[in-house]
Amino acid sequence: MRRKGMRRRDRYGYHTYYGGGGPSPVIKVIVIVLAVVVLSLILTIWGLQRYMVYSSDGGKLELPWAQQTDDGSGSAQPQEGGAASEPDVSAVVTSGGSDVPQEPANTEDMVRAVPLTREELLGGDVSGLLEQKGANGVVLEMKESSGKLAYASQLDMARELGVSELDATGQEVAQAVRNLKDQGTYLIAYVDCFQDHAMSGKDAFSFSTTYGYHWMDDTDVGWGNPTKTEVRDYLTGIVGELAAMGFDEILLDNAGYPTRGNLEYIQTGSDYDATQFASVIGDFYTKAAQAATAGGAKLSAVTDQSTIQTGSNAHSGQTLENLSGLSRVWLTPDAGADVTALTRTVTEAGMNDYPLGVLTSTLETGRSYYQAVLAAED
């Protein structure tokens, strides 16, 4: 006979347990309070991100009530629409490595251009957009890395590659460019030069690997081979067409042999001879600059800081000597770069006045900005 209140063991000697009544009300309150505190901290951090300022000394918070001028007034107010005014690119131009911004000698001669998409060019209020961004010029991508052109080209090779824009759309783009030109807007045509996936699909225009395939860079995009005369002539023709459309400046990016990716896989020989890189690129710059000048435009190219400092780039074929035949070079300076010294270097190499353009970008807009001082004759 079992005594009252005793639990019967099961066959394995364990008792059945059905659990307690859950956490106490006090614990529930503590959990809720902690959750509210964590959520508040997250929202606070997110809200303060707009006041984070990054410099060569690291990041710091600059709160609006702490940003007072000498007369006690607050700092400049954001532009209409809530976005803060974009930083002036001249702030990255320093002398002797100093962090103190150096203002250009004559800001009236400055060009500050913002890239526009084709949709913005054709469908938006370009003048209003430029005023909002504090810009007086636009950069239009007229040739993509895919090889696609943003206008209707008359070049045979463009038709062969199937990259020319339809006539109707091309005419719209050309008319929009003329309208901006008439308004006095400084126009820069951006051309992704030898990086061209359409050309890379043709044996006659591309790099070949040691295994007989078409070579591509680290972004899986192919290139046209600068060694090929047809490739250089095609790109020179594009420069001439864009100059005739009314652009003030033709900006060439990737304007040399490739510098990224598995370069060791490229088949060496007469089509890829490093001893000839500089002369090939120099010949291209000379002829392309002549085509630009014939149409009333300048020719410029993107380079890197190391090429300016050392005088050459063994991979790209760019040198100070062949770059000096251009009207301007563009680069994104390294942190703390002495842009004044870089400008002096390219000037001494034989370029025109104010030959260095600076590229920068802002996290707020995701846009790049192109800023340079126009040559004296402008």
0.75 surpassed by pTM: no
For residue 101, what pLDDT is reported?
Answer: 32
- pLDDT beyond 80 at 350: yes
Lowest mean pLDDT: which of 67-81, 165-179, 297-311, 313-327? 67-81
In this predicted structure, the answer to whether residue 38 has a pLDDT above a threshold of 90 is no
Rounded to whole angstroms, the Cα distance separating 63 from 51 reads 6
Domain residue spans in the chain?
89-373
* Comparison of pLDDT for 266 and 355, the residue scoring more: 266
Give the pLDDT band (50/70/90) at residue 123: confident
Closest by Cα among 135, 108, 89 to 356? 89
- The pLDDT value given to residue 378: 39
Q: Provide the pLDDT confidence category of residue 63 given band limits of 50, 70 and 90.
A: very low
CATH of 89-373, one of 3.30.2130.10, 3.90.1150.10, 3.40.50.2300, 3.20.20.80: 3.20.20.80
- Which residues, listed in sequence order, are joined to residue 139 by a DSSP beta bridge? 115, 188
pLDDT digits (tens, 9 = 90+) for 310-342: 999 999 999 999 999 999 999 888 878 888 888
| pLDDT surpassing 60 at residue 70 | no
Q: Residue 36: pLDDT above 80?
A: no
Q: Residue 241: CB partners within 8 Å, gap ≥ 6?
A: 151, 153, 154, 155
In this prediction, residue 295 carries a pLDDT of 97
Write the DSSP assignment of 111-153 as a string of letters: EEEEEE-HHHHHHS-HHHHHHHHT-SEEEEEEE-TT--BSS--
Residue 204 neighbours by CB under 8 Å, 6+ apart: 228, 230
Is residue 89 pLDDT above 90, yes or no? no
Q: What pLDDT, on a 0 to 100 scale, did the predictor assign at position 374? A: 53
**pLDDT exceeds 90 at position 79:** no
The answer on pLDDT for 371 being more than 80 is no
Q: How many CB atoms lie within 10 A of CB 370?
A: 25
Q: Model confidence at 41, in pLDDT bands (50, 70, 90)?
A: confident
The percentage of the chain sitting over the pLDDT mark of 90, rounded to a whole number, equals 49
* Cα distance between residue 92 and residue 33, in whole Å: 47
Can you tell me the mean pLDDT for 100-122?
A: 68
Instruction: Calculate mean pLDDT across residues 54-80.
Output: 38
pLDDT at 99 > cutoff 70:
no
Q: What angle do CA 187, 189, 195 make, to 5 degrees?
A: 165
Confidence of residue 46 (pLDDT cuts 50, 70, 90): low
In SS3 terms, 160-205 reads as HHCCCCCHHHHHHHHHHHHHHHHCCCEEEEEEECCECHHHHCCCCC
Contacts with 219 (C-beta within 8 Å, 6 or more apart), sequence order: 145, 260, 261
- Of 238, 145, 188, nearest to 357 (Cα)? 188
